[in-house]
Chains A and B, each alone.
Chain A
Amino acid sequence: MLGALHEVAGTGPDMEHAAAAALFAAGCLARLPGTVLWVLERSDLFAPGLAAVGLHPARVLYAEAGKAATVLLVMEEGLREPGLAGVVGEVSGRLTLTASRRLQLAAERSGVTAFAIRRPRRHDDPALLEPCAAVTRWQVASLPSGPPIPGAPDVPGLTQARWQLELVRCRGGEAGAWIVGACDAQGRLGVVSDLAD
């Protein structure tokens, strides 16, 4: 949904890194035209990884906010710029109802899509359960992928990664969960065919 705030989180002990969540947001924005503003708190984002899901380096503008509170302010500033394709913020701290509502209103006004990637220090952080004005909330969990060649489990190698994509909350819509192939080089999610096992 364009012009709205979406919340994306990972699962499990590696939630702090939110690698799959970042790939999911990057893949969604890769298919929109225009520049993406990526607001960082720490500098562990590896740009070649974004290029691998179709977000070309010439399309991403990074802003290093340094502090958790500044991330939200920079996101809001970016959301006022109608020329952007999207704004991604890596939120390690709280995303309060007020803060998320401000972001949502700014996104609605400019039509710019916003993603808040949650990066709590602990995966059971109570801050994750706070109410939030985001239109949707996604949870991206890794699933074991299939063998590289169907029916030949001993052949080494990696295929497309697999995610359990759960729409935890959706304003005016139904929640749901899907098993999908991770974003490919154009940022598209894959349909998983071999779910028989």
Chain B
Amino acid sequence: MPLVTRALGGGRQVVVGADRAALSLGLAPSLPLPEARARVPDLRVHEADPAGDAAALRDLAAWASRYAPLVAPDPPDGLLLDVTGSTHLHGGEAALLDDLLGRLNRSGLMVRAAMAGTIGTAHAIARFGPADREVVAPGEEAARLAALSPAALRIAPDIARGLLVLGFETVGQLMAVPRAPLARRFGPGLLARLDAALGRRSEPLEPWFAPEAIQHRLAFVEPLLTATALGIALDRLLSTVCPALEAVGMGARTVDVLFERVDATVQAVRVGTARPSRDPGHLGRMLRDWLERVEPGFGIEAVRLVVRVAEPLAWSQTKAVPGEAPISDISALVDRLGNWLGGDRVFRAMPVESWVPERSFRRAPPLWSDPNLSWPEALPRPVRLITPPQPIEAIAALPDRPPAAFTWRRVRRRVRHADGPERITGEWWRREAETHAVRDYWAVEDEEGRRYWLFRRGDGEDPATGDLRWFLHGLF
């Protein structure tokens, strides 16, 4: 049953919020409630709860801070995220957007999102753009805005109506006309919004922090300009924050450092750790790698360090006996490499129970470790796997003889020894097409002693199992 919320607006009851079903029936916000009831008789109506909405939006902002250091609720129904300096932790801009929308959609929220170089453009494309997600390339802001209605520019409704009366149907028309008459007719607000959306005027994001987050802010009398000075500030902040983490038995998983510049913009740096940490040395080393990317501009007047995600961290023993070598802990190395290369490029190969070689391992988190899990030892497996397998020319007697010779990369190699066949059948429970597929694998050695892993598609008897072509799949 469609659901709307109502509130008093302009002396009468109007719809302020509508769910998916109601929207599909044409019940948009600002519609008078009696009209909505007339159109849809079985409408469920709830009282609007602006305070509850605002609280829920703040909760959502606190949750979204996992994606970006700078998050601000944008009432009534928006969130602003400055993802500069944090996309590397999520595999790029588009991947971050997909992940964010996927999670919100799964939790039942109807969300649209856009990423752009300015708040104004992202705001406009997210609400008025054609797709439910879009990444606007740098410099494309004007081109993408041009086709949208002027109402997309975050202007008051009466200004939007006035523009329509004058015949301005798109932002592009607005950009084409002289500015002075527009400013006289509509006041400076309209042009300010347009300039902010196009990046001609800077618009800082006012970041919002969950009140319970562990954080510390240092303000300076003289603005800081050098990386050395910022490094010292970082150490001071960590010397306050790390004991605070210790006091509550937590360790940081995600740490943001916000550099507040004299010109009121904020630059943010975010690092993630593989396991909770409250070691000032470890956190400091990771953050210092990023200091060079901070542009101080005319100076940085305050630095704030916020622990965005913390997890319980028990006391751990680092030395078995005093004087003995410390128990090795590579998590610091994992963090440094992960923050540098990207989280998914530092990994372990975890054995997977599958006979198909391509599927026999998957990438596991870098601190995964299970000494009991490995691959069956008796089967020969190459050290290089060629993906996709390369077709080779080979002739072999059917059904189960190894090839006497094969040609790979235009070089003919005569087979002296061979081991096989090892029959690997398709995994029909994963893919329909593999139901009958069979591969017969051979480990062969050529005259010079080099060893190859070959397979033939098909069992040599039933044509449904494969077309009898030979492939090179690996090298020993």
Contacts and interface: CB of A to CB of B under 8 A. Distances in A.
B357 A60 contact: no
B374 A44 contact: no
Interface in A72-125: 74, 77-78, 81-84
Interface string A116-154: 000000000000000000000000011111011000000
A28 interface: no
B330 A49 contact: no
Interface in A143-174: 143-145, 147-148, 156-159, 161-162
A47 interface: yes
B374 A51 contact: yes
Nearest to B385: A46
A45 to B, nearest CB: 7
A26 B349 CA distance: 15
Contacts of A5: none
Given A19-B382, A49-B381, A61 B345 contact: no
B334 A61 contact: yes
B328 A83 contact: yes
Contact of A62 (B333, B346, B360): B346
B450 A14 contact: yes
A83 B384 contact: no
A23 B383 CA distance: 7
Interface hub of B345, B357, B381, B417 (most chain A Cβ within 10 A): B417
Interface string B158-181: 000000000000000000000000
A100 B332 CA distance: 24
Interface residues of B, number: 55
A52 B351 CA distance: 13
A56 B337 CA distance: 22
B107 interface: no
B136 interface: no
A74 B341 contact: yes
Contacts of A19: 382-384, 451, 475-476
Contact of B476 (A57, A144, A161): A161
A144 B449 contact: yes
Interface residues on A, range: 35 or more
A62 B349 contact: yes
A46 B402 CA distance: 23
Interface hub of B347, B419, B476 (most chain A Cβ within 10 A): B476
A176 interface: no
B37 interface: no
B332 to A, nearest CB: 7
Contacts of B449: 141-145, 161-162
Interface in B445-476: 445, 447-451, 474-476
B374 A63 contact: no
B128 interface: no
Contact of B373 (A14, A58, A61, A141): A58
Contact of B346 (A20, A34, A61, A161): A61
A124 B381 CA distance: 29
B375 interface: yes
Interface string B421-451: 0000000000000000000000101011111
B416 interface: yes
B349 A60 contact: yes
A156 B349 contact: no
Contacts of B340: 74, 77
Given A19-B476, A26-B383, A52-B377, A161 B337 contact: no
Nearest to B349: A47
B286 to A, nearest CB: 12
B330 A46 contact: no
B170 to A, nearest CB: 43
A81 B340 CA distance: 16
Contacts of A62: 346-349
A63 B341 contact: yes
A22 interface: yes
A60 B337 contact: no
A142 B448 contact: yes
B209 interface: no
B409 interface: yes
B475 A158 contact: no
A65 interface: yes
Interface stretch (B67-75, B111-119, B227-235, B363-371): B363-371
B313 interface: no
A158 B419 contact: yes
B350 A49 contact: no
Interface string B62-84: 00000000000000000000000
Contact of A81 (B333, B349, B409): B333
A17 interface: yes
B387 A44 contact: yes
Given A52-B377, A57-B348, A57-B349, A46 B369 contact: no
Given A13-B409, A58-B369, A156 B382 contact: no
A185 interface: yes
A49 to B, nearest CB: 3
B54 to A, nearest CB: 44
Nearest to B375: A48
A83 B330 contact: yes
A45 B383 contact: yes
B290 interface: no
Contacts of A50: 383
A158 B418 contact: yes
Interface of B: 326, 328-330, 332-334, 336-337, 340-341, 345-351, 357, 360-361, 366, 368-371, 373-375, 377, 380-387, 402, 409, 411, 416-419, 443, 445, 447-451, 474-476
Given A77-B337, A161-B449, 10 more contacts: A17-B384, A58-B373, A64-B341, A66-B345, A78-B333, A81-B330, A142-B450, A147-B417, A158-B417, A159-B417
